[in-house]
Structure 1
């Protein structure tokens, strides 16, 4: 059973801990329904150059301590991690640039972004470009366009926009990622979340050796980094709920 697996894992002395959370009763098929099919548009666009002052960056950094990260949401049985990561990215960047902490619509992407596949998956880079090119870079609030775990009719209304962005930047490696997080803001990141134990992750540095860097099937927002017991880590805001 899932609980037996969790207990055996924790007894084995792994670097990370698991717990019997809301997903402990999920079947493999139910968990897979929350993941995306691999898809990325990164190679189709030129990256805007990063501009930062030369010099060392902090050994650790956490945007949560700055009050610019909204609470974790729950995507339910919908493979919309790509949309949640895109909305989380825009929420935090909007706050970092002193525009206030908005709670933005995920449903705007699910219903309107025809370049991605709704609850069957997508990519955060593609979603952000869709908003930029087709919706004037504008985001509605979650209260005006609330989340439902399915795709419906597009009801985007630019006159009700609560946030706007104008440019995206890609990072090429983990050094660029750390510099960007420490000096510019948060990032959206694709990740292989297909390992069974990812859904039960509880604490410490998750470093499953079966993680495939090319098997991206989920998206999260990177809001910090650091080192714990000699292991470097990224702080990621997920959309699997807070418990």
Structure 2
């Protein structure tokens, strides 16, 4: 069982033992008020995250139940997040969803397998490295209620490497990959490896997002002429860096931001801080972009860009402890070449 999964099993088992929601401080700086798990106590949260207020509707009742379950999860997750700089959990825009709804809507990346990394570690790595400091990482995007994380991860890596090569940083079209990557299933999910293989095989030129805007739903592929300007993938590598995260740091510095597949079930309630020891399922299910790392503090961590908007987590980012393959961050790591 990979590091962190044992804690996930304990968390899953512990949720059944947590009693009814109690009055407690809501772990949300924006809300900053007491909550007792009642419709009245949770109504401000529903307004904050733009949920319907029809208290007698079936939909509203279902959302209320989701928030009540979230209170239990927060208590348990925070009870095992007690070390310095630990992640904190509380109400997010996803907290009124059941865990099954959350997984079905947002965690649609297929699990990819990759060979173990067998290269050499790069010596003399900087203690801290962040591609954002070089202005080659695009702003955080929001996939909305579409299982398109796999496309955002691939696009994130390609547009950054394109900028590292000297071109102007430009948001490439996620929708183009979503619609046209025939080996994947659009908003119903997909695989980083299948998307990269498709891009390599077809040499499709990805156009700017302004030419092919994101719609958060799968559409009909729009084809462009071979002479149309765009960014094409030349090649990619994919490796399993579990047990070799220092080598993964070298890959990041040498190649650019990395597309990875992680286990993100516990991220439903993530507010910020460094995830140090637990995720809550046994399978990778979400694609993200690793843009940097920081080993200067007591807890070294990866800097990971997510695609759930800038209001989630650390302004759209999540920090994950380096070492122990937390959340499976080192299981599938892809670097692109243009």
Q: CA deviation at 1:13?
A: 4.8
Larger radius of gyration: 2
Contact residue 127 and residue 296 of structure 2 kept, 8 A: no
Cα–Cα, structure 1 residues 13 and 186, in superposed 2: closer, same or farther, change >3 Å? Answer: closer
Higher relative contact order (CA 8 A, sep 6+): 1
Q: Which runs of 5+ in 1 are unaligned?
A: none
CA distance in structure 2 between the aligned counterparts of 1:133 and 1:11, rounded to whole angstroms: 48
Contact residue 114 and residue 240 of structure 2 kept, 8 A: no
2:90 corresponds to 1:22: no
2:128 corresponds to 1:60: yes
User: Which residues in structure 2 correspond to 1:63-82 (within 5 Å)?
Assistant: 63-82=131-150
Contact residue 86 and residue 128 of structure 1 kept, 8 A: yes
Contact residue 40 and residue 126 of structure 1 kept, 8 A: no
TM-score w.r.t. length of structure 1: 0.85
Contact residue 171 and residue 177 of structure 1 kept, 8 A: no
* 1:242 match: 310
CA distance in structure 2 between the aligned counterparts of 1:96 and 1:118, rounded to whole angstroms: 28
Q: Which runs of 5+ in 2 are unaligned?
A: 1-67, 312-338
Superposed CA deviations along residues 185-216 of structure 1, whole A, max 9, x for unmatched, are 11000001123xx122122111342455x611
**Is 120-129 or 101-110 further displaced after alignment?**
120-129
Q: CA deviation at 1:139?
A: 0.8
* 1:141 match: 208
2:222 corresponds to 1:155: yes
Contact residue 50 and residue 169 of structure 1 kept, 8 A: no
Which of 143, 156, 161 in structure 2 is aligned with 1:88? 156
* 2:188 match: 120
RMSD: 2.7
Number of positions where the alignment pairs a residue of Structure 1 with one of Structure 2: 235
* 2:111 match: 39
CA distance in structure 1 between the aligned counterparts of 2:230 and 2:177, rounded to whole angstroms: 15
TM-score w.r.t. length of structure 2: 0.63
**Is 151-160 or 62-71 further displaced after alignment?**
151-160
